[in-house]
Structure 1
Amino acid sequence: MYLPATFRQNDLAQLHAQIRQTPLAILTSTGSQGLQASHLPLLLEAGEGEFGTLYGHFARANPQWRDLAAGAEVLVVFPGPDAYVSPSWYPAKAEHGKVVPTWNYISVHAWGQAEVFDEPERLLQLVSRLSDHHEAGRPQPWSVEEAPRDYLDSMLRAIVGFVLPIRRLEGKWKLSQNRSAADQAGVREGLGASAKVRDHELAARMAEAND
């Protein structure tokens, strides 16, 4: 992605935090069937390798896993909150009028080559960890063990797992850092007054970045 130094996020802990806060990633690859993308829930193991390792699975009927099996490089996008920024929120508009709309957002990109696997026990461990992760905090969390084993076995035959060591990691926090403090405050106020929950989330992230 286009990454001016002003918006570059290099802090590994914050990059990992954003990955964990993104419940559904976009995994892209290029192979024999051209450019493909799938929306997948992924797990991050931060202690594995320099940048961490991602774990996930495809439906076996999804041909994209064959790109990974063939050694294709993968780009995984973890989109964070985003919002339209109106020029009317800038105090600079009243001063000189030299303002235009833009879009603020947070995003993390991860690259690597994956190992594909379909051994039943490895798949069972993976789907168990994914389920436990997303069920955590629920009053009565569901676990994989609650499903009949013969049913689980049939479901496991219908998926293909992968392990993706991250070889390159980039983060972009475009949060009006190129504007004056007054303009940044105007953007936060404008987003905070919005009826959109996502706008409020981005306003909070801007406030965190300026603390």
Structure 2
Amino acid sequence: MYLPLHFAQPDALALRALMRDHPLATLITHGAPGLDANPVPLLWLDDGSPHGLLRGHVARANPVWRDTPPGSEALAVFHGPDAYISPNWYATKRETGKVVPTWNYAVVHARGPLRVVDDAAWLRELVTMLTRTHEAALPHPWAVSDAPPDYIERMLGAIVGIELPLSSLQGKWKASQNQPAENREGVVTGLRQRGGAADQAMADVVGRAG
């Protein structure tokens, strides 16, 4: 990833927060058929290593777990807020006119060797953990135990676990850090006025980055 220093996000807590808040990653692998990309919800876990690990699962019918050589490097891309930035929001447009549009975004790249786990007990623990995580904010959380046991067994047989012990984590917060303060203020105001959920989220990112 092209990563100018002023866009680099070195804060490990910020990287983990983005992965937690936007868990649907694009998992990029390379096997015999060539490059492959799959959207996969992944859960970051602290295993005591410098970068932690990611766990998730794919459909057994998905060939990615068979086509990717064991231990080969995979890349999980987590996509945070993003927004189009209009040059009309820059104070310097009125002063010089020397402005152009851009796009702001926040992403995390997580790399590590792909490990396949085809074990029913491991998968049951994983899906229980995933369910608790994603149901926690709901007024009446669904639990794995709410479904008939034989049905859960069949569902577990239809998936395969994946794990990435992470060798590196990179964060890129492209949030108008290369603009003067008055332009960043204009970006925050413009995003707030445009009012979409992604705009509000990016306004928060730009405000913190400034």
- Smaller-chain TM-score range? over 0.9
Cα distance in 1 for partners of 2:190, 2:47 equals 39
Distance 1:69-1:58 versus aligned 2 partners, 3 A rule: farther
1:66-105 alignment runs, 5 A limit: 66-68=66-68, 70-105=70-105
Question: SS in structure 1 opposite 2:100?
Answer: coil
Percent of residue pairs identical: 49
Corresponding residue for residue 152 of structure 2? 152
Question: SS in structure 2 opposite 1:132?
Answer: helix
> CA RMSD, aligned part only?
1.2
Within the alignment, does 1:52 sit opposite 2:48 as a pair?
no
Cα distance in 2 for partners of 1:15, 1:90 equals 28
Query: Structure 1, residues 127-169: CA drift from partner, whole Å, max 9, x if none?
Result: 1110111000211111001111111111111110012111011
Cα distance in 2 for partners of 1:165, 1:146 equals 31
Residue 47 of structure 1 deviates from its aligned partner by 4.0
Corresponding residue for residue 174 of structure 2? 174
Question: SS in structure 2 opposite 1:9?
Answer: coil
Contact 2:32-2:68 at 8 Å conserved across structures: no
Residue 68 of structure 1 deviates from its aligned partner by 4.1
TM-score (norm 1): 0.96
Corresponding residue for residue 21 of structure 2? 21
Aligned-partner residue type, residue 44 of structure 2: L
Aligned-partner residue type, residue 152 of structure 1: I
Residue 34 of structure 1 deviates from its aligned partner by 1.4
Cα distance in 2 for partners of 1:96, 1:120 equals 64
Aligned-partner residue type, residue 163 of structure 2: V
Cα distance in 2 for partners of 1:123, 1:4 equals 39
Question: SS in structure 2 opposite 1:200?
Answer: helix
Q: Which ranges in structure 1 are unaligned for 5 or more consecutive residues?
A: none
| Superposition misfits of 4+ residues, deviation over 4 angstroms | none
Question: SS in structure 2 opposite 1:171?
Answer: strand
Q: Which ranges in structure 2 are unaligned for 5 or more consecutive residues?
A: none
Within the alignment, does 1:64 sit opposite 2:64 as a pair?
yes
Query: Structure 1, residues 74-106: CA drift from partner, whole Å, max 9, x if none?
Result: 000000000011111111011111111111110
Contact 2:115-2:163 at 8 Å conserved across structures: yes
Contact 2:191-2:203 at 8 Å conserved across structures: yes
TM-score (norm 2): 0.96
Question: SS in structure 2 opposite 1:103?
Answer: strand
